[in-house]
Amino acid sequence: MGVLARNNVKVKGQGARPMLFSHGFGCDQNMWRFVAPEFERDYRTVLFDHVGAGGSEIAAYDRAKYSTLDGYADDVLEVCHALDLQQGVFVGHSVSAMVGVLAAIREPERFDRLVLVGPSPCYINDEGYVGGFSREDIEQLLESLDDNYLGWSSTMAPVIMGNPDRAELGEELTNSFCRTDPEIAKHFARVTFLSDHRAELPRVKTPSLVLQCSHDVIASEAVGEYVFRNLPTAELVLMKATGHCPNLSAPAETVAAMKAYLGT
């Protein structure tokens, strides 16, 4: 099985410089449909699905490999190798922000900019650190997800999306969650919400943009500020967009912030 087929890779754009878009939990590359086309004139855009999501090869899912975010970072780098991507821009939403951080640490020549949308290096509160959730909160969330994934999705997706006055956004995220294989989603959720990559942030040599939404129940402003403070070279943009998915709820603001940072 080839890497490009495994991850359902799609390449577009007229530019020479690559821009790789990486989606978050319960989503697929379709979540970038309002953002990625805005960069096709100046970049070679690369979209893909994490194994287990979207049009990826489900048979390639390996619980051992994907028991940590390193397995997903391996896939990102394999896509880069297959397409010979160098000095590009990595755009990662939610958990994929940390996937990009891990990939950039391992092979810094692949990306000369990171765009981290709603990043969180650790979701669980710790001494001197506010991740947004207690350990008990996360265990209850995962237990609820294990007991009834579809019910959990229909309840939590609109909360994660925010924007209650735009019900269609919550419905889209719910449908995206429900299309994901439940067993894979349960495992990915556990890997995501129990991960802790705070120690990796100071090791990132790549200049980074942190895009932080307002009223984000998954990655709060305090978390975004923590990521910004602990990356050696970073800029922080506090967006007017609310919720956790500005790539869907506020694509114009997301694109504008990215272009301002990248000088496009």
Q: pLDDT tens-digit profile of 41-52? A: 999 999 999 999
Please tell me the distance from the alpha carbon of residue 244 to that of residue 40, in angstroms, as a whole number. Answer: 24
Residue 132 φ/ψ region, left for φ over 0, alpha for ψ in the -120 to 50 degree band, beta for the rest: left
Query: DSSP string covering 15-39, please?
Result: -SEEEEEE--TT--GGGGTTTGGGG
Catalytic residue among 56, 197, 244, 249: 244
pLDDT above 90: residue 178: no
- Respond yes or no: is residue 244 known to be catalytic: yes
Residue 196's SS3 state is strand
What pLDDT does residue 264 have? Answer: 59
Active site includes 94? yes
**Residue 179, pLDDT above cutoff 90:** no
**Average pLDDT of the residues in 146-175:** 90
Query: Mean pLDDT over residues 205-231, rounded?
Result: 97
Helices of type H across 162-200? 167-179, 182-193
User: What are the structure tokens assigned to 57, written together?
Assistant: 């090869």
Three-state DSSP class for residue 240: strand
Separation between Cα atoms, residue 27 and residue 64, nearest integer Å = 21
Look-up of token digits 């007991």 = 147
Domains of the chain: 3-121+197-262 (3.40.50.1820)
Phi/psi for 256 (5° steps) reads -60, -40
Instruction: Please confirm, yes or no, whether 154 is among the known catalytic residues.
Output: no
3-class SS at 261? helix
- Position 191 scores a pLDDT of 97
- Of the candidates 176, 216, 220, 249, the residue annotated as catalytic is 216
Residue range 54-91, pLDDT digits in tens? 999 999 999 999 999 999 999 999 999 999 999 999 99
Task: Yes or no: say if 169 and 248 are a contact pair by the CB < 8 Å rule.
Answer: yes
Q: Residue 177: what pLDDT?
A: 87
Q: Which of 82, 97, 194 is nearest to 137 (CA)?
A: 194
Average pLDDT, whole number, for the chain? 96
Flag whether pLDDT at 139 surpasses 80: yes
pTM score, two decimals? 0.96
Judge whether residue 212 has pLDDT over 90.
yes
Q: How far apart are CA 226 and CA 131, in angstroms?
A: 9
Neighbours of 221 (CB within 10 A): 15
Which amino acid, 145? L
* Catalytic choice (56, 94, 176, 208): 94
Decide: helix, strand or coil at residue 45.
strand
- pLDDT (average), residues 152-170: 90
Taking residues 95-117, what's their average pLDDT? 98
Sheet holding 88-93, edge to edge: 10-12, 43-47, 17-22, 88-93, 111-117, 208-214, 234-242
pLDDT at 28 over 70: yes
Phi-psi region of 263 (alpha: psi -120 to 50; beta: other; left: phi over 0): left
Q: Which of 182, 238, 234 has the alpha carbon at shortest distance from 208? A: 234
